[in-house]
């Protein structure tokens, strides 16, 4: 049965109507009306979150684990409706939405089992040394404590896994922090359904309703009011560099600055080393084309740049990549604005002298078709704009003059979510020269693979030096992401009865 959204905000367990409304703009299917958020509603949600913190912040790990599992169950219970409206709003295929839902509920369940184990608290204990000379040592115990209400902004390209019930929300709730989500205006109906699932789970678990609120967007002042609200203690953001930077600056300018964990864009360069290029350049080119066009290239881990050594093998690589990309038809983008931004990005790249177009297909309205360009290492090094993300299926081949120039390109990269090395046994020495540089550039370095597809696991790092993220000591994917919403507190000589029962 088709789901019709109620179109209201969800504030501390209540559906709250708004005076103004904005329409959704689905890729297909009916549009719906949603209440526009206001700073007053943000204030109401933040106050409820602060109230909830006094009980939720001291809840047991087992209680929070059950809450996370219940959210996963409630999302699954709404699965078909989520898939239907998610696909309409985002234009993503239903199979992708089903997969992303599995990732989202899997993430919630993984975090539940992770906090049950307790290791994330990083408990430390220095016993008292009353007889130590020249001065006795007091007993010291350190525990990671939740920081307070957290604001979450999701991205348009992951309406489930990086949105209302996505990684940031799961991590904050796991840590013991109530969450206020600013809904993304590209998928308000999907967000509403997931918000309903979290609200239902909070009720079923008997939690303070302020533990979760969803304010729909529609106007930029909602996000601004949220990050500047004095009761908000940290922000989890996934989205564009421009939006993220604007909100980051607001967080830094507050009377009490707060951490802003922004996961932004990246060009995810691949370095194709000579032996690998010679032995299997064609299959790497085909794999690249597939990764580059997956989901219309709308992944933060999309590998936009391939760096290789100039020569006949580079010619072959470019020809194979072009042939593979040529076969990819138009794909629907997430929003009209994104399709426009994609074409503007193409124009920025094409306008640089020394950049040659290998494939320029036509795309219009909300569609995207792949573009392929190539240039020399020297031109790339001189033009900063060629190292910036073009969100969509655009590939740039950079032909380095020699190995030293390849290294120079690695040095010139800005912060990345990922860097990839394609290498064979004969490439080890060059790989060893590149590795210390790439380690300083990216949160994840891959060998002989493609960066799209981010495993939710204990060892995953999804983040990187700015501008890949605004806080390179953190990850937004995997169990380590919970750590962002905790802070260490040391208890000195404290009686057991007063120390949190972690």
DSSP 312-338: HHHHHHHHHHHHHHHT---EE-S-HHH
Q: Residue 393 CB, nearest distance to ligand NAP (Å)?
A: 13
Query: CB–CB of 393/293 below 8 Å?
Result: yes
The set of residues, in sequence order, having a beta carbon less than 8 Å from that of 99 and lying 6+ positions away, is none
Q: What are phi and psi of 236, to 5 degrees?
A: -105, 125
> What is the gyration radius of the CA atoms in the chain, in angstroms?
24
Map residue 355 onto helix, strand or coil.
Answer: coil
d(C-alpha 416, C-alpha 441), whole Å: 6
Q: By C-beta, is 49 or 267 nearer to ligand NAP?
A: 267
Q: By C-beta, is 169 or 238 nearer to ligand NAP?
A: 238
The answer to whether 263 is a known catalytic residue is yes
Q: Angle 247-249-252 (CA atoms, 0-180°, nearest 5)?
A: 115
Binding mask 112-131 for ligand NAP (x = CB under 6 A): --------------------
Q: By C-beta, is 176 or 443 nearer to ligand NAP?
A: 443
Residue with tokens 């690998």: 276
Q: By C-beta, is 53 or 299 nearer to ligand NAP?
A: 299
Map residue 151 onto helix, strand or coil.
Answer: strand
Map residue 357 onto helix, strand or coil.
Answer: strand
Binding mask 387-406 for ligand NAP (x = CB under 6 A): --x-x---------------
Decide: is 182 part of the binding site for ligand NAP (CB under 6 A). yes
Q: By C-beta, is 197 or 226 nearer to ligand NAP?
A: 226
Q: Residue 286 CB, nearest distance to ligand NAP (Å)?
A: 24
Cβ-based neighbour number of residue 428 at 10 Å = 12
Please pick, from the candidates 153, 261, 342, 371, the single residue that binds ligand NAP as defined by CB under 6 A. Answer: 153
Please pick, from the candidates 43, 224, 408, 424, the single residue that binds ligand NAP as defined by CB under 6 A. Answer: 224
Decide: is 265 part of the binding site for ligand NAP (CB under 6 A). yes
Which of these is catalytic: 46, 177, 251, 300? 300
Residue nearest to ligand NAP (CB): 243
Decide: is 411 part of the binding site for ligand NAP (CB under 6 A). no
Please pick, from the candidates 462, 480, 481, 484, the single residue that binds ligand NAP as defined by CB under 6 A. Answer: 462
Query: CB–CB of 25/467 below 8 Å?
Result: no
Which residues make beta-bridge pairs with 196?
none
Q: By C-beta, is 249 or 315 nearer to ligand NAP?
A: 249
* Residues in 225-264 at the binding interface with ligand NAP, rule: CB under 6 A: 238-240, 243, 246-247, 263-264
Q: By C-beta, is 246 or 445 nearer to ligand NAP?
A: 246
Tokens of 491: 């208890």
d(C-alpha 449, C-alpha 443), whole Å: 16
Decide: is 139 part of the binding site for ligand NAP (CB under 6 A). no
Cβ-based neighbour number of residue 279 at 10 Å = 16
d(C-alpha 428, C-alpha 423), whole Å: 7
Query: CB–CB of 155/454 below 8 Å?
Result: no
Burial class of residue 132 (count of CB atoms within 10 Å of its CB; 0-12, 13-18, 19+): exposed
The DSSP call for residue 451 is S
Tokens of 313: 């093998």
* Residues in 291-310 at the binding interface with ligand NAP, rule: CB under 6 A: 300
Q: Residue 340 CB, nearest distance to ligand NAP (Å)?
A: 12
Strands of the 140-146 sheet, one edge to the other: 124-126, 140-146, 486-492
Contact window for ligand NAP (CB under 6 A) among 63-71, 153-161, 437-445, 486-494: 153-161
Q: Residue 470 CB, nearest distance to ligand NAP (Å)?
A: 10
Q: By C-beta, is 265 or 478 nearer to ligand NAP?
A: 265
Please pick, from the candidates 56, 162, 371, 450, the single residue that binds ligand NAP as defined by CB under 6 A. Answer: 162
Q: What sign for the dihedral angle of Cα 324, 326, 330, 335?
A: positive
Binding mask 412-451 for ligand NAP (x = CB under 6 A): -----x----------------------------------
Which of these is catalytic: 50, 263, 313, 374? 263
Decide: is 484 part of the binding site for ligand NAP (CB under 6 A). no
Map residue 64 onto helix, strand or coil.
Answer: helix
Query: CB–CB of 441/434 below 8 Å?
Result: no
Residue with tokens 């064979």: 424
* Residues in 201-220 at the binding interface with ligand NAP, rule: CB under 6 A: 217, 220
The answer to whether 205 is a known catalytic residue is no
Q: By C-beta, is 53 or 162 nearer to ligand NAP?
A: 162
As annotated, the active-site residues are 263, 300
Q: What residues make contact with ligand NAP under the rule CB under 6 A?
A: 153, 155-158, 162, 182, 184-185, 217, 220, 223-224, 238-240, 243, 246-247, 263-265, 300, 389, 391, 417, 462, 476
């Amino acid at each position: 049965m088709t789901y019709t959204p109620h179109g209201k905000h969800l504030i501390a367990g209540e559906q709250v109507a708004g005076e103004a409304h904005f329409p959704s703009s689905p890729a297909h299917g009916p549009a719906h009306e949603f209440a526009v958020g206001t700073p007053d509603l943000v204030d109401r949600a933040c106050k409820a979150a602060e109230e909830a913190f006094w009980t939720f912040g001291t809840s047991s790990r087992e209680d929070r684990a059950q809450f996370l599992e219940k959210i996963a169950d409630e999302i699954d219970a709404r699965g078909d409706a989520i898939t239907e409206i998610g696909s309409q709003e985002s234009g993503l295929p239903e199979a992708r939405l089903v997969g992303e839902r599995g990732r989202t509920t899997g993430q919630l369940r993984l975090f539940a089992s992770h906090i049950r184990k307790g290791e994330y608290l990083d408990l430390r204990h220095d016993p008292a040394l009353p007889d130590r000379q020249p001065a006795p040592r007091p007993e010291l115990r350190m525990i990671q404590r939740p920081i307070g209400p957290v604001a979450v902004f999701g991205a348009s390209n992951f309406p489930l896994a990086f949105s209302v019930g996505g990684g940031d929300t799961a991590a904050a709730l796991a840590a013991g922090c109530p969450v206020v989500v600013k809904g993304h205006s590209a998928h308000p109906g999907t967000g509403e359904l997931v918000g309903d699932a979290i609200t239902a789970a909070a009720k079923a678990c008997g939690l303070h309703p302020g533990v979760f609120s969803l304010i729909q967007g529609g106007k930029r002042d909602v996000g601004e009011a949220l990050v500047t609200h004095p009761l908000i203690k940290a922000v989890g953001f996934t989205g564009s560099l421009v939006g993220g930077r604007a909100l980051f600056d607001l967080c830094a300018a507050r009377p009490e600055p707060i951490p802003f964990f922004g996961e932004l864009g990246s060009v995810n360069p691949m370095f194709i080393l000579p032996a690998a290029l010679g032995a299997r350049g064609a299959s790497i080119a085909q794999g690249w084309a597939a990764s580059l066009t997956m989901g219309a290239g709308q992944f933060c881990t999309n590998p936009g740049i391939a760096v290789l050594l100039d020569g006949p093998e580079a010619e072959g690589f470019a020809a194979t990549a072009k042939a593979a990309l040529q076969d990819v038809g138009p794909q629907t983008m997430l929003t009209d604005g994104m399709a426009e931004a994609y074409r503007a990005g193409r124009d920025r790249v094409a306008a640089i002298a020394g950049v040659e177009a290998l494939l320029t297909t036509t795309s219009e309205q909300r569609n995207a078709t792949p573009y392929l360009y190539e240039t020399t290492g020297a031109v790339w090094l001189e033009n900063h704009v060629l190292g910036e993300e073009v969100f969509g299926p655009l590939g740039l081949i950079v032909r380095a003059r020699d190995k030293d120039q390849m290294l120079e390109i690695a040095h010139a990269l800005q912060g990345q979510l990922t860097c990839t090395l394609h290498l064979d046994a004969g490439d080890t020495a060059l790989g060893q020269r590149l590795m210390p540089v790439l380690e300083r550039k990216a949160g994840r370095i891959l060998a002989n693979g493609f960066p799209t597809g981010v495993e939710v696991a204990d060892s995953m790092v999804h983040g990187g030096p700015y501008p890949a993220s605004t806080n390179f000591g953190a990850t937004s994917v995997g169990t380590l992401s919970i750590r962002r919403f905790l802070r260490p507190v040391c208890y000195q000589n404290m009686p057991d009865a007063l120390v949190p029962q972690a």
